[in-house]
Structure 1
Amino acid sequence: MRYLFLFLLTISAAHAQDFVWTPGLQRAYADLQKLKVQSAKQALTTEIGQNGVRIFLDDYADMLLLVTSDDDRAFATLSDREDDRLDALKKLDNNSPWQRVFLAEVRLHWAFSKLKFGKELSASWDVIRAYKLLSENQKLFPNFLPTYKSLGTLHVMIGSVPDNYSWVANLLGLHGNIKQGQQELQRAQQDPTFQLEARLIDLMVRAYVLKFGDSDEQALQQLVSEHADNLLLHFFGATIEQKNGHSEQALAYLTKRPMSSAYQSLPVIENILGDIYLQKGDYATATTHFRQFLATYKGQNFLKDSYYKLFLCQWLAPNQIDVQAAPLLQKVLAVGRTTVESDKAAQKFAEAYFKKGASPNQKILMRARLASDGGFTDSALAYLRPYSDANFSLTPEKAEYNYRLGRIYQRRNEPDSAIPYLNRALALSEPDQLSFGATAALQLGYIYQQKNDRTHARSFFQKALSFKHHEYKNSVDNKARAGLSGL
């Protein structure tokens, strides 16, 4: 009996070392969160033993390398490591709350990577398995805070599934909603290990799923300023601000980003800078950034988008001949893939352009759209002010003209000026279910929500949901449902 007791103690002591955040591993994780991938990998090579934390961080480093480079050859070389790391983690202490968390994190790392390389089906199965692991861990260890960072994220994603696909989630045993996910992300922020990630994810949920308000922007600015040496935060801060029509602030984040060789290369930043200068109407500077992106980038994503934007730089510039810009649009059809939304939009524009051509009015609307999307409302208004509804003969162009003016006034905090234009865009769009109607209804819902007119706000959010077929349905429906729940 004495020897059996000593044997059990030995097993217990061995398992106690299965998941240990050594000082070196803590430093490596901090470096990875900053995108200092090489220094983190060097630190990981000094760690010995089958420590589950090191396995997790090795995998994190590979994921960052893959999603920042979009390199197909690197993906082919590294993809076998997912099963190796999962097998290694399964051999460690399954009585530790860390085991299932790290198994789920590795699954999610590869799901994210696979999505970037067009492996949607395999990525989906990784997400489902990660969800099962985290749900089980929550039941076994309900007070273990690290569980809630990724579980909260998944619950938001599940809650964002369009109504017509919700049965699929239920069939697969995936349950959750946006409010539940947000609460879990708030809880995860109490954990010192994953606090920074949880804060960033929470802000991204507010930006991409909900409505990003002034308090959220202040929280984002504070987070970035607290971590001046964090390239990842500057990058995501810029993408969030650009998404929400604050491209000048996005430019400030990218201008102040750390730029030494210690950081992982991020060629996509050149693409974002090109976007911002295109919105500003500085076509020469935008062209320089898009060309720099194409010269340094090794992947297949964002190629269609970049050539489309290069086309716009020529097409929209004064005194340019359309035929000179057309070869750039031909490149859109010849390169890359349509995995990310911006490439899909570029492909759609190019196909429509070569099939139907483009009216002069499209240039007017495109200039206004780009400026408005970036938050440069003075320029956007100047583009549209010389025209009226009567100048546009096609219904989609009339609808877009009114929608753009409505959004410009809304961004200028002039909601009463915005309302008639958004209402007109909605009325013009409804017969043919144009996307401008759905987005106009959503913005009208926000305006009346701010006015505390719940009846009108509810009516417009429901109207936004009623549009059945348009390219922004998932995003608009998510935001409209969130608006309704907020009432």
Structure 2
Amino acid sequence: MPLKIYRLPLFLLVVLLPFSAAANFDFNANCVKAYQSIFELKLGTAKALIAAEKKARPQNSIVPLLENYVDYFYLLTNESKAEFERLEANKSSRLDQISKDDKNSPYYLYAQAEINLQWALVRGRYGAYFAASREINRANGLLKDNQKKFPNFHLNTKGLGLINVVIGALPDGFMKSALSTFGVKGDIQTGISQLDKLAEELPKSTYEPFYEEVIFYYAYILSDVAKSPQAYPKIMKYTSRIADSSLLKTYMQAYACARNGKNEQAIEILESRPKGNAYQPFAYLDYLLGVARLNKLDVKAAANFNQFLQVNKGNNYIKDTYLHLAWISLLKDDTADYKAFLNKVKSNGATYVEKDKQALNEANAPTPHLVLLKARLLYDGGYLTRALEVLSASKADDFKTVKDKAEYAYRLGRVCDDLGKDDVALAHYQTAFNTGKGLKYYYAAKSAVLMGNIYEKKKNLVQAKAYFNLAIGLKDHEYENSIENEAKQGLKRIGG
């Protein structure tokens, strides 16, 4: 049984927590309950508690901070740009109220930083990078000032750690350039160390109620930004303390499992997730369950993807959902439906997130070879032995196009790599690199990074550096920014 967060009695919690620097930053029992409800994704409950607090104590400047948390998680779960545009006007009035309050409270600068950072993180999802960079710069400055004034206020580290990692991982481009102009620089390892230390220390401190928020950001960083090999064990370890009634816990654990080849566990977590009208609708979880089920070649995953399309009110993951439905048709040998779903990929949804951009690319590409599609899905689910069996039943000459030959070698390399067969993996990656380096597909560049990783593990830093540089040298291919960033992080690790 997972260890549950111990909920102190609220009256005792308020006495113990470092909240009451001034009456107008009053994190009282009602506010604590609202905050806890937000992080269980019970946003309706949180709104009711916040409304009661606002009526009873209209000058309490914790209220606008909590209201911003509600908007933030509503937008993250809703994925709607229209809702983002409707709600972003709330930012200025909330900052106005807080800025008129007690400057001697540790929450004075902290709350302003949090609001700026939350809007930056949402804004960046829709390509508004300059505005997001200004908000990150503002949040960074506020948190650093607050750290000087209140060095024992642990919550400063949460935002500073997040900023360090996000900025450190940004590819060269407009947003990184804008932040550099503002003087904001980041370092992935520093940020990870800050958040890792906070995750360990918070449960032993009076800041324990903020634990779930810290783990939410830390999970995002480990999985999506740093792509850490420790993402799965760390996320499962830290989330085990969180109550099972938290839908956010479901998301963090299922996502970590799905991203790290623990497919059966992801399915189990998603199918047993808490449900009910108290929870914020979270259509992405239906999409994630569909992805996990299809990764084991279960064509009944179509029901989960269709559920996502029915419930979803936002713009994201629609193209990728139709692409997965197209793949299901391909697995069922239904060519007509396959083409119909590809047309829906092209005509529905947006391309704000990488998954949808790639889905559109794939909809315009040649039909995937069935062997390669099956191997790809099985690999993503962590079914390495099954994936190897599928690939081993074919040979390179069975594939007619250069693209398919490159992908075949790449898929073999990935499976052998994860099975610990380093030298066999290197041979396949080298074939994928040689075959695919003139193509727009990502197989060659990603193979170069993965070869660099293997040589780094073997302590052959000369070869590791050479392959990381080869990856950086390849241009105009899929996932160029993220692959180049992986290679640059590799060079940084080995001092290259």
User: TM-score per shorter chain, which class?
Assistant: 0.7 to 0.9
Give how far 1:116 is off.
Answer: 4.5
Counterpart contact for 2:161–2:195, Cα < 8 Å: yes
**One-letter code aligned to 2:112:** L
- The equivalences for 1:325-344 within 5 A come to 325-344=338-357
Determine the structure 2 residue equivalent to 1:199.
Answer: 215
Say which of 387, 391, 411 aligns to 2:398: 391
Give 1:120 deviation, angstroms: 4.5
Q: Which residue of 2 aligns with 1:11?
A: none
Give me the whole-angstrom Cα distance separating, in 2, the residues matched to 1:309 and 1:434: 19
Asked whether 1:365 is paired with 2:369, we answer no
* 253 and 146 in structure 1: CA distance in 2 versus 1, 3 angstrom threshold: same
Report the CA distance between 1:60 and its aligned residue.
0.4
Q: C-alpha deviations, 1:243-283, integer Å up to 9, x for none?
A: 23332232232133222332211111111111112211111
CA distance in 1 between counterparts of 2:231 and 2:349 reads 35
DSSP 3-state at the match of 1:34: coil
CA distance in 2, matches of 1:41, 1:110: 19
> Which segments of 5 or more consecutive residues in structure 2 lack a partner in the other structure?
1-19
**Compared CA separation, residues 446 and 153, structure 1 to 2 (3 A):** same
Aligned-partner Cα distance in 1 for 2:128–2:167: 20
- 2:41 corresponds to: 35
The equivalent residue for 2:364 is 351
In structure 2, the CA distance between the partners of 1:243 and 1:263, relative to structure 1 (3 Å rule), is same
Q: Does 1:52 align with 2:61?
A: yes
Q: What pairs with 1:101-250 in structure 2 (closer than 5 Å)?
A: 101-116=110-125, 119-163=128-172, 166-189=176-199, 190-191=201-202, 192=207, 193-213=209-229, 215-227=230-242, 228-250=244-266
**1:344 deviation in Å?**
1.0
**TM-score, normalized by length of structure 2?**
0.86
**2-structure distance, mates of 1:433, 1:88:** 51
Match of 2:303 in 1: 288
Query: CA deviation digits over 1:390-420, x for unaligned, max 9?
Result: 2223222211110100101122232233221
| Aligned-pair CA distance for 1:66 | 2.2
SS of residue in 2 equivalent to 1:264: coil
Matched, 1:324 2:337: yes
Distance 1:98 1:176, change over 3 A: same
Matched to 1:157, the amino acid is V
Instruction: Describe the SS at the equivalent of 1:162.
Output: coil
Residues 203 and 220, structure 1, Cα contact 8 Å, conserved in 2: yes
Q: Distance in 2 between matches of 1:295 and 1:186?
A: 38
Distance in 2, matches of 1:454 and 1:42, equals 58
Task: Tell me what 2:17 maps to.
Answer: none
Partner residue in 1 for 2:15: none
CA distance in 2, matches of 1:116, 1:50: 33
Deviations 1:453-475 (A, max 9, x none): 43433333333333233222332
Give the equivalent residue in structure 2 for 1:70: 79
Which of 325, 328, 347 is the matching residue for 1:310? Answer: 325
2:488 alignment partner, SS class: helix
Count of residues in correspondence between the two structures: 464
Query: Residue 165 of structure 2 contacts residue 226 of structure 2 at CA under 8 Å; is this kept in 1?
Result: no
Q: Give the whole-Å Cα distance in 2 for the aligned partners of 1:203 and 1:57.
A: 22
CA shift for structure 1 position 163: 4.0
CA apart distance, 1:99: 1.5
Question: Which residue is equivalent to 1:473?
Answer: 480
**8 Å contact from structure 1 (residues 438, 467) kept in 2:** yes
Query: What residue in structure 2 maps to residue 410 of structure 1?
Result: 417
CA RMSD after TM alignment: 2.5
Q: Note if contact 1:304-1:346 (Cα within 8 Å) is conserved in structure 2.
A: yes
Cα 1:457/1:194, change in 2 over 3 Å? farther
Q: 2:468 aligns with which of 433, 458, 461?
A: 461
Rounded to whole Å, the distance in 1 between the matches of 2:463 and 2:210 is: 41
Relative distance call for 1:465 and 1:282 in structure 2 (3 A) is same
- SS of the residue corresponding to residue 39 of structure 2 reads helix
TM-score, length of structure 1 as denominator length: 0.88
User: Structure 1's 206 and 299: CA in aligned 2 closer, same or farther, altered over 3 A?
Assistant: closer
Q: 1:369 to 1:176 in 2, by over 3 A?
A: same
SS at match of 2:344: helix
> Structure 1 pair 28/470, CA: closer, same or farther in 2 (3 Å)?
same
